Amino acid sequence: MRILHISLDTAMGGIESFLLNVYKLIDKEKIQFDFIEYGEVERNFNNRYTDLGAKIYILPDRKKNPLLASKKLKEIVKKYNYQVVHIHKNSLADISSIKICQDVGVSKIIVHSHNTYRDNKMVVLLHKINQKRLDKDKVFKFACSIKAAEWLFNDIEDITIVKNGIDTIKFGLNLDKRIEKRRELNINNCFVIGSVGRLTEQKNPLFILDVISQLPIDNVRLLWVGDGELKRTMETKATEYGIEDKIIFTGAVTNPEDYYQAMDVFVMPSLYEGFPIAAVEAQCSGLPMILSTEITREADIIGETEWVNCNDVSSWIKAILKIKNKKFKKRLYKRGVLVYNQPRRTVLVHNFYQKRYLNGTRKEQYTP
Q: Is there a common fold for 2-165+344-358 and 175-339?
A: yes
Q: What are the structural domain ranges in the chain?
A: 2-165+344-358, 175-339
Q: Are the C-beta atoms of 226 and 198 separated by less than 8 Å?
A: yes
**pTM of the prediction?**
0.79
Q: For the structural domain made of 175-339, what CATH number should be given?
A: 3.40.50.2000
Q: Are the C-beta atoms of 141 and 159 separated by less than 8 Å?
A: yes
Q: For the structural domain made of 2-165+344-358, what CATH number should be given?
A: 3.40.50.2000
Distance CA 266, CA 257 (A): 13
Q: Where are the alpha helices (DSSP H) in the chain?
A: 14-25, 46-50, 66-79, 96-104, 121-133, 146-153, 175-184, 205-214, 231-241, 256-262, 277-284, 313-326, 329-339, 348-352
Residues 6 or more apart whose Cβ sits within 8 Å of residue 260? 171, 194, 196, 266, 281, 282, 285, 287
Residue 346: what pLDDT? 52
Distance CA 290, CA 293 (A): 9
Rounded to 5°, the CA angle 92-58-60 comes to 65
Residue 364: what pLDDT? 39
Rounded to 5°, the CA angle 172-280-250 comes to 75
Strands 247-249 and 265-268: unpaired
Residue 26: what pLDDT? 83
Residue 202: what pLDDT? 92
Rounded to 5°, the CA angle 298-117-194 comes to 60
Give Cα 96 distance to the centre of its chain.
Answer: 23
Residues 6 or more apart whose Cβ sits within 8 Å of residue 238? 209, 244, 246, 247
Q: Are the C-beta atoms of 77 and 118 separated by less than 8 Å?
A: no
Write out the chain's pLDDT in tens, 368 residues: 899 999 887 777 788 888 888 888 888 988 999 999 998 666 667 888 999 999 999 999 988 999 999 999 999 999 999 999 999 999 999 999 999 999 999 999 999 999 887 778 899 999 999 998 888 888 999 998 899 999 999 988 889 888 777 777 788 888 899 999 999 999 999 999 999 999 999 999 999 999 999 999 999 999 999 999 999 999 999 999 999 999 999 999 989 999 999 999 999 999 999 889 899 889 888 899 999 999 988 888 888 899 999 989 999 999 999 999 876 555 555 555 444 443 555 556 666 776 655 554 444 333 33
